[in-house]
Structure 1
Amino acid sequence: MSSAPDKAQQIINHIRSYVDFSDQAAADLIPLLSPQRLRKRQYLLQEGHICRQESFVINGCLQAYKTDDKGKIHILQFAVAGWWIGDLDSFLNTTPSQLNIEALENTEVLNITREQLDWAYQQCPGLERYFRLMIQKAWIATQQRTLSAMSQPAQQRYEEFIARYPSLLQHIPDRHIAAYLGITPQSLSRIRNQRKH
């Protein structure tokens, strides 16, 4: 298990891969980050609660999902090491979340609250630009996924998923991949069998 400074360094390295971020800005940000460990199947956020923090994944894997009235799970997002996860709508508007965020395996995250983030935007040059880039990246991924769901057959959606997110396959059970793609586990099994031939 990595030490607290090593964990914080992961997020600093991630920020620096997108923007210039000084040693002083890093020193100001690090004390704001609160580590949290989650066991497999433990919730980071539950539907109906207000999302009070955004979370950077140090290791492990989480999923953000909504369960409909019929009990069907609709997965919005997965997050592995180096990814952010949270309910941005609930976080920014302090409204009850419509999502559940659950650990798919033992996971460690670093959390930052809205108040801490607002303070850090003022004190840490480059941080606001970094988060703007993260939100843009997430918006583009959401748009691509929506267009794919509207216009592509399941096999093509699966091919795009494994091409875009190869590192996720080792963390995520097939039933969750199927739910993310909007297909049944049986359909996913058929698609995989067709790929082998």
Structure 2
Amino acid sequence: MTLNTSILSKIFKDVSFSSDEKKSIEIKLEKLTLKKGTTILKAGDTVFNQYYVFDGCLRTYYIDNSGKEHTLQFAINDWWISDYTAFFTTTKAIMYIETIQDATLYKISKEHMEILYREIPQLETFFRKKMERAFTSFQKRILATLSQSAKERYLSFITTYPNIEQNVKNFHIASYLGITTESLSRIRKEIAHN
């Protein structure tokens, strides 16, 4: 695969690479073009990869013992996605990941990441900073779920994911917010009337 410099610059913002480093990265990233509705990970799978969303939209969700889906994350352009618990601990996946729009992804395996960390130390810094921001985001999301009203969570959602609503089903958004689709409709009507 040959990745042009602009694609590498988009994926690895603010990181400069030599020609040899670019070649090393190129052979370790695999481009995927997926149709809407494609499941790229299921609970019980071994998780070898994480994915960069070049375009499209994906969601990570969990199915509880009663069969109810809980959306954990949406991944839109310029986001990374995986079942990170399984990816980092080499346990089996507990999450599902599906495309909810046609998507172009770049996947990289944990093995290849470790090689790149040794070859290109600035990539380890890049991914560490990404993980720090993700951890902060998840912690804020947990606190919001514990302390905010459904309306406040919805307002935060539309700030975090602007322009996503027209591309995502209402039950996915409600699942992400931990509310019913009826409650979501009620909140939207309330906001529209204010």
Range into which the TM-score falls when normalised by the shorter chain: over 0.9
Partner of residue 124, structure 1: 120
Gaps of 5+ in 1: none
Residue 14, structure 1, aligned to residue 11, structure 2:
yes
Partner of residue 18, structure 2: 23
Q: 1:77-88, aligned counterparts within 5 Å?
A: 77-88=73-84
Partner of residue 141, structure 2: 145
Partner of residue 112, structure 1: 108
TM-score, L = length of structure 1: 0.91
How many residue pairs match? The answer is 192
Partner of residue 190, structure 1: 186
1:76 counterpart (61, 72, 79): 72
Aligned counterparts of 2:166 and 2:49: Cα–Cα separation in 1: 27
2:164 counterpart (153, 168, 182): 168
Name the CA shift for 1:11/1:73 in 2 (closer, same or farther; >3 Å): farther
Q: 1:28-107, aligned counterparts within 5 Å?
A: 28-107=24-103
Amino acid at match of 2:11: H
**Does structure 2 conserve the Cα–Cα contact (< 8 Å) formed by 1:21 and 1:127?**
no
Amino acid at match of 1:110: Y
Amino acid at match of 1:96: K
Aligned counterparts of 1:48 and 1:179: Cα–Cα separation in 2: 21
Q: CA deviation at 1:169?
A: 2.6
Of all paired residues, the percent bearing the same amino acid is 33
Query: Cα deviations across residues 101-144 of structure 1 (Å, max 9, x unaligned)?
Result: 01111112111111111000011231001100110111111011
Q: CA deviation at 1:177?
A: 0.8
* RMSD of aligned residue pairs (Cα, Å): 1.7
